[in-house]
């Protein structure tokens, strides 16, 4: 055979092999894409059913502990399912449009970026997440028939406008089990004949985790308001110094007492003896960060823990997109997950979520969101490098926090506590305003409002801000903390 024939045959064979491999790959990708579409459709169908059940359960008064646990399982599966569905949608968009994951690089050399994994690794993770979420939803729904029947026998709770899910920013998100337990405590008749002592329920949780909001939500129920002649919110630290404190104790009373520090048994006994004089059926709720105060409860305490990662991401997306359809902004949905990761380990997560959602909702562009994310990452790294701990931990200990990355010049911020007098003549602005437009930063010391709750009791979080470039605060690590070598 001549040399030319061999070359031609070799080229033809190579082309055929190449086309065959291409055919197999296309068939593989097509079948996988078809499979992912089926998973997406199944997830959407199940999520619609689950969301309906959870919303209906949230409008009923559930007293059965087993039903509460089932509701918790169902809600966890729902949040996991929504997260997996968002990832599948983003993955489908990547395949269609052919773009890579959004990433961020810091021009100052700090190398801040969203971890960019290989496409194959991402595909595998997404498939595992979606199939895991699908399996969890199917199992949860398969065990819901009895729950739905029992749910029909639970009393329906009245709803006012700000409780409706349409008003996303004004309803008490999640906490399905905690809300049911609190309502059950407030509405049940648990006084035995001859027992006039008020029942005591401790609600324990970290700073800004939603203790007051939970109580406010329950006290907004018409049945709770009609059951008690008075609902009093008191400061426990001041109350114990003078038990009567000028309070009127006529009728059935609900006392909501907040303690910032531990109290002795003798002090509590003295106060509780006085509280027995309240009307029969009166109740006491203790709010505190301290687990030790759970010992004063006459019923099992409610412990408020941080939200799960999937629940947190769901809340953040709900707040940040508002009435906008998230499917129209798939790249922003992916960035919202990155913000969720940033917020997950922050103790005052609910405040941070609301602040960021308020800022980001003003501008639904990828570059704007990347810019805000860059500022947040710089802010955390700067304080970790300087003080050795997360900024939120600094704020909890009333220690100055460096917020230079949100402004145009070096600034320090410290919470305005009861021991810190606020000068009324100082200018003030919100943290959201500062993040959106650093040019509004006053040249002198000022007050910054980190956040103000939109629902009662409308608690606000003011902070005092001064320029640490002018020696306003000494920059020092907290006692017992080591500075971390994080590049700035």
Q: Tens place of pLDDT for every residue, the chain, 488 residues?
A: 555 555 445 554 555 545 544 544 454 444 445 477 787 888 888 888 888 888 888 878 888 888 888 888 888 888 888 888 888 887 777 666 555 555 444 433 333 344 444 455 555 666 677 777 888 888 888 878 888 888 888 888 765 444 443 334 445 567 778 888 898 899 887 555 456 788 999 999 887 777 888 888 888 888 888 889 888 888 887 765 555 555 556 678 899 999 988 888 888 888 888 888 788 888 999 999 899 999 999 899 999 887 778 888 888 888 888 888 888 888 898 888 888 877 765 656 777 888 888 889 889 999 999 999 998 888 888 888 888 888 877 877 778 888 888 887 888 888 876 444 555 678 888 888 888 888 888 888 888 888 777 666 677 788 888 876 444 444 444 444 444 433 33
Measured CA to CA, the distance from residue 277 to residue 243 in angstroms comes to: 12
- Which residues are within 8 A (CB) of 467 and not within 5 positions of it... i.e. 6 or more apart? 409, 410, 411, 412, 445
For residue 278, what are the contacts with CB-CB under 8 A and spacing of at least 6? Answer: 198, 249, 252, 253, 255
Bridge-based pairing of strands 199-205 and 302-304 is parallel
Residue 15: per-residue pLDDT: 55
b/e sequence 338-351, b meaning 16+ C-beta within 10 Å = bbbeebeebbbbbb
The reply to whether omega before 457 is within 30° of 0 (cis) is: yes
**What span, in angstroms and rounded, lies between the C-alpha atoms of 33 and 419?**
61
Q: Give the Cβ contact number of residue 297 at 10 Å.
A: 18
C-alpha dihedral (432, 174, 307, 201), degrees to nearest 10: 110
Write the CB contacts of 360 (distance below 8 Å, at least 6 apart in sequence): 320, 339, 368, 369, 372
Q: How far is CA 101 from CA 90, 105, 154, 326, 472, in A?
A: 9, 13, 47, 17, 42
- Alpha-carbon dihedral angle through residues 416, 315, 126, 50, given to the nearest 10 degrees: 150
Contacts of 259 (CB under 8 A, 6+ apart): 236, 237, 286, 287, 288, 290, 293
d(CA 60, CA 48): 19
- CB burial string 452-479: b at 16+ within 10 A, e below: ebebeeeeebbbbbbbbeeebbeeeeee
| CATH of region 179-304 | 3.40.50.300
Interior/surface letters 159-193, b for 16+ CB within 10 angstroms, e for the rest: eeeebeeeeeeebbbbbbbbbbbbbbbbbeeeeee
Cα–Cα distance, 307 to 286 (Å, whole number): 21
Query: How far apart are the C-alpha atoms of 314 and 311, rounded to whole Å?
Result: 5
Q: How far is CA 124 from CA 30, 60, 97, 206, in A?
A: 16, 40, 20, 36
- Residue 76 burial (CB count, 10 A): 15
- Phi, psi (degrees; rounded to nearest 5) at 255: -100, 125
For residue 117, how many other CB atoms are within 10 A of its CB? 12
So what's the pLDDT on residue 230?
Answer: 87
Indicate the SS3 state at residue 234. Answer: strand
Give the model's pLDDT for residue 479.
Answer: 45
Alpha helix stretches (DSSP H) within 114-244: 119-142, 145-151, 176-187, 211-219, 222-227, 236-239
Cβ atoms within 10 Å of 34's Cβ, excluding its own = 10
Q: Where in the chain is the domain with CATH 3.40.50.300?
A: 179-304
Kindly give the residue spans of alpha helices, DSSP state H, lying in 175-308. Answer: 176-187, 211-219, 222-227, 236-239, 265-275
């Amino acid at each position: 055979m001549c040399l030319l024939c061999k070359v031609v045959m070799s080229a033809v064979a190579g082309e055929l092999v190449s086309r065959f491999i291409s055919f197999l790959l296309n068939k593989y990708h097509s079948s996988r894409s078809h499979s992912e579409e089926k998973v997406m459709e199944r997830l959407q169908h199940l999520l619609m059913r689950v969301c309906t059940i959870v919303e209906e359960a949230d409008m009923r008064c559930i007293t059965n502990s087993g039903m509460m646990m089932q509701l918790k399982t169902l809600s966890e599966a729902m949040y996991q399912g929504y997260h997996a569905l968002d990832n599948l949608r983003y993955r489908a968009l990547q395949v269609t449009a052919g773009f890579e994951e959004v990433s961020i690089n810091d021009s100052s050399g700090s190398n801040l970026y969203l971890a960019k994994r290989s496409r194959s690794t991402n595909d595998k993770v997404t498939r595992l997440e979606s199939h895991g979420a699908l399996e969890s939803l199917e199992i949860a729904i398969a065990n819901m028939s009895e729950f739905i029947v029992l749910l029909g026998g639970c009393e329906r709770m009245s709803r006012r406008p700000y409780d409706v899910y349409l008003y996303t920013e004004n309803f008490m998100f999640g906490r399905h089990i905690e809300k049911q337990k609190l309502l059950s405590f407030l509405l049940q008749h648990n006084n035995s004949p001859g027992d006039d002592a008020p029942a005591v329920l401790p609600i324990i949780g970290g700073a800004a985790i939603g203790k007051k909001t939970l109580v406010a939500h329950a006290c907004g129920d018409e049945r709770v308001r009609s059951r008690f002649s008075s609902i009093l919110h008191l400061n426990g630290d001041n109350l114990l110094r003078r038990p009567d404190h000028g309070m009127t104790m006529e009728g059935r009373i609900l006392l909501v007492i907040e303690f910032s520090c531990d109290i002795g048994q003798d002090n509590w006994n003295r106060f509780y003896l006085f509280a027995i004089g309240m009307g029969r059926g009166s109740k006491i709720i203790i709010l505190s960060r301290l687990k030790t105060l759970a010992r004063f409860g006459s019923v099992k305490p409610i412990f408020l823990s941080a939200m799960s990662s999937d629940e947190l991401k769901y809340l953040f997306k709900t707040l940040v997109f508002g009435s906008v359809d998230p499917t129209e902004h798939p790249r922003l949905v992916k960035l919202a997950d990155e913000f969720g990761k940033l917020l997950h380990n922050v103790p005052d997560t609910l405040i941070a979520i609301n602040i960021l959602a308020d800022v980001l909702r003003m501008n639904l562009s990828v570059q704007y969101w990347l810019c805000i994310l860059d500022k947040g990452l710089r802010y955390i790294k700067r304080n970790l490098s300087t003080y050795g701990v997360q900024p939120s931990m600094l704020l909890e200990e009333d220690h100055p926090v460096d917020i230079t990355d949100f402004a145009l010049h070096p600034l320090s911020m410290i919470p305005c506590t009861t021991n810190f007098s606020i000068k009324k003549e100082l200018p003030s602005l919100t943290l959201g305003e500062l993040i959106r437009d650093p040019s509004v930063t006053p040249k002198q010391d000022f007050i910054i409002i980190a956040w103000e709750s939109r629902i009662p009791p409308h608690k606000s979080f003011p902070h005092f801000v001064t320029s640490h470039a002018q020696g306003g605060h000494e920059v020092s690590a907290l006692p017992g903390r080591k500075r971390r070598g994080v590049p700035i």
